[in-house]
Amino acid sequence: MFDTVTPGTRTKLRSAVDWRMKVLVLFGTRPEAIKLAPVIHELRKKFFQTIVVSSSQHKQLLAPFLASLNIDIDFDLGVMRRNQTLNGVCSKVMAKLDSILASEQPDLILVQGDTTTTLAGALAGFNRQIPVGHVEAGLRSGNLLSPYPEEMNRRLVSQIASLHFAATQKNRRNLLAEDVPSEKVFVTGNPVVDALKHMLKNLKVSPQINELIKATEGRKRILLTTHRRESFGPALASNLMVIGDFVEKRKNVCLFFPVHPNPNVKNIAKKILGKRERIHLLDPLDYSDFLAIMKSAWLILSDSGGVQEEAPSLGKPLLILRENTERPEAIRSGVAKLVGPGPGSLKQFLEENYAVDTWIKSVKEIGNPFGDGKSAVRIVRIIEEKLATKPMIARADQGTLF
Ligand code: UD1
Ligand code: UDP
């Protein structure tokens, strides 16, 4: 678990030392919480006053993470609805966050990645002329519709942010190519690696998952996660059919599929893969359970961004179920392969790698290209320097903005 300065300790510290600037940290989905947790804890260690806001864009997915990541929330915007729309989430987050920005007047807003919460938070900050720091800046797939809407979200946030925390040199180059001033871009690594390392030190695996791992000993375990909006409908259905048929035909293979609660995923998963032998449809797993299953996997199939960043640390082969990736570093490292469009391609990948598993066996734990576990320290050091030395924005009433 993360060390943290607990709220009680904070109150004592408040009287003992001068509190530094106020940083509002906003998240709303599972991956944002995982990636921002190390930064929140580091900010607190360095005595920043933190205001932690959850949009609760995710409700059930987020809840198990807050406890295990040791995060306490100051404000919960509670925006999630079943089958929510992008505009519904965006407008609610902006409106509800605005009153918090008005009353709390933070010196900086920190957002992460490319979700609707991220975009709404950055725009709300801009409208109130509060500087925005963007963690995981500079990812680009090159296709505005894939991943949808994330590629547009992150491009828009790059227009707004005053501090860009890029995970890799490639991410930095992407930003410079779009004329983001180089003095605002910092290569810090991705704090997902910090979170992963912390968690791996103290995995608390549930009896249910322990049991499942034991019961499937000797089988080739495939771990599947899939939830991207651009694949909903026929693409998702045909991928699930290919995977189901592949497992069914091979008695030494089994599938673990923690199913995303999105009805567009859940319903089709149940319909195509429900009640089939050696196929385990699971509820979303907490971080410890998920990492335990990742570690036990023979092969991972996923369209998740975070999983691409975690696979190198665990040395697990990953087939990326997408047409493109904004994380080519995972492919270059040899850990991941891009499946590309069409069910034929996935079928071929699965059959070839089952027949000759040279690549699968060759994948080993490697230096993670996305980070070294010290990203949060770097991010907070930069925030400290920037906030201490000069205001990051010139106000509109002074002639220039940002
Ligand atoms: C969002 C992010 C995506 C990220 C993903 C992680 C955007 C635009 N996309 O996906 O980048 O990879 O989260 O999971 O922000 N639901 C629940 N309970 C939950 C969470 C979701 O029931 O705890 C259901 C709801 O019906 C909801 C649907 O899942 O409408 C989709 O959730 P949403 O937050 O809209 O996810 P995405 O936008 O698909
Ligand atoms: N994850 C988890 N339990 C699950 C599925 C995923 O803990 O059942 C973790 C995973 O390790 C990674 C993150 O959630 O850190 C990825 O979240 P998701 O795939 O929802 O979003 P993305 O990374 O694609 O934005």
Tens place of pLDDT for every residue, the chain, 402 residues? 455 544 444 444 443 334 678 999 999 999 999 999 999 999 999 989 999 999 999 999 999 899 999 999 999 999 999 999 999 999 999 999 999 999 999 999 999 999 999 999 999 999 999 999 999 999 999 999 999 999 999 999 999 999 999 999 999 999 999 999 999 999 999 999 999 999 999 899 999 999 999 999 999 999 999 999 998 999 999 999 999 999 999 999 999 999 999 999 999 999 999 999 999 999 999 999 999 999 999 999 999 999 999 999 999 999 999 999 999 999 999 999 999 877 789 999 999 999 999 999 999 878 899 999 999 999 999 999 998 765 555 444 444 334
Query: For residue 176, which amino acid is it?
Result: L
- Pocket of ligand 2, candidates 198, 280, 307, 320: which has the most ligand atoms within 8 Å of its Cβ, to mutate? 307
Q: What is the pLDDT of residue 97?
A: 98
Q: Where are the domains of the chain?
A: 7-191+373-398, 207-362
Structure tokens at 71: 């995060």
- Per DSSP, 399 falls in state T
> Is 131 within 8 Å of 157 (Cβ atoms)?
no
With H, G, I as helix, E, B as strand and everything else as coil, classify residue 112: strand
Q: Where are the beta strands (DSSP E) in 138-211?
A: 163-166, 185-187
Our answer on whether the CB atom of 290 is closer than 6 Å to any ligand 2 atom is yes
**CATH 3.40.50.2000 correct for 7-191+373-398:** yes
- Per DSSP, 11 falls in state H
Q: What is the pLDDT of residue 369?
A: 97
Provide the b/e sequence for 240-275 (b: ≥16 CB within 10 Å): bbbbbebbeeeeebbbbbbbbebeebeebbeebbee
* Strand bridging mode 75-76 / 108-112: unpaired
What is d(CA 305, CA 46) in angstroms, rounded to the nearest whole number? 29
Q: What is the distance between the terminal CA atoms of the chain, rounded to a whole angstrom?
A: 37
Our answer on whether the CB atom of 35 is closer than 6 Å to any ligand 2 atom is no
Judge if 7-191+373-398 and 207-362 fold alike in CATH terms. yes
34 CA closest ligand 2 atom index = 15
Q: What is the pLDDT of residue 2?
A: 56
Q: Residue 229's Cα: distance from chain center in Å?
A: 15
Ligand 2: residue whose CA is nearest its atom 15:
306
Residue at token pair 């691409």: 308
Q: Which residues are catalytic?
A: 114, 136, 150, 227, 229, 260
Our answer on whether the CB atom of 256 is closer than 6 Å to any ligand 2 atom is no
> Is 54 within 8 Å of 30 (Cβ atoms)?
no
Our answer on whether the CB atom of 304 is closer than 6 Å to any ligand 2 atom is yes
**CATH 3.40.50.2000 correct for 207-362:** yes
Ligand 2: residue whose CA is nearest its atom 25:
305
Total Cβ atoms within 10 A of residue 127: 12
291 CA closest ligand 2 atom index = 11
Q: Which ligand is nearest to the CA of 370?
A: 2
Dihedral over Cα of 282, 147, 325, 27: its sign: negative
Give the binding-site residues of ligand 1, using a 6 Å CB cut-off.
29-31, 57-61, 82-84, 86, 114-116, 149-150, 227, 229, 261-263
Total Cβ atoms within 10 A of residue 117: 29
CA atoms within 13 A on the CB side of 359: 18
Our answer on whether the CB atom of 310 is closer than 6 Å to any ligand 2 atom is yes
Our answer on whether the CB atom of 225 is closer than 6 Å to any ligand 2 atom is yes
Ligand 2: residue whose CA is nearest its atom 12:
306
The pair phi, psi for residue 299, each rounded to 5°, is: -150, 145
Longest CA–CA span in the chain (Å) reads 70
Dihedral over Cα of 181, 187, 191, 192: its sign: positive
> Is 326 within 8 Å of 146 (Cβ atoms)?
no
